[in-house]
Amino acid sequence: MSSKELEVLEDFITQNNLKITRQRRSVLKAFLDSEEHVSAEELYKLVTASEPKVGLATVYRTLALLIQSGLASELDFGDGQKRYEHKYMHSHHDHMICTECGKIIEFNHPLIEKFQEEVAARNGFTITSHKLDMFGMCSDCR
Pick between residue 67 and residue 132 the one whose CB is nearest to DNA.
67
CA distances from 47 to 6, 15, 39, 42, 55 (A): 16, 25, 12, 9, 9
Q: Is 54 in the site for DNA (CB under 7 A)?
A: yes
Residue 50: name its binding partner from a second copy, DNA, none (Cβ under 5 to 8 Å by kind).
none
**Minimum distance between the CB of residue 132 and a second copy, rounded to whole angstroms?**
4
Q: What sign for the dihedral angle of Cα 80, 103, 56, 86?
A: negative
**16 Cα distance to chain centroid:** 22
Q: Is 81 in the site for DNA (CB under 7 A)?
A: yes
Q: Give contact residues for DNA (rule: CB under 7 A).
A: 13, 17-24, 39-41, 51, 53-58, 60-62, 64, 80-82
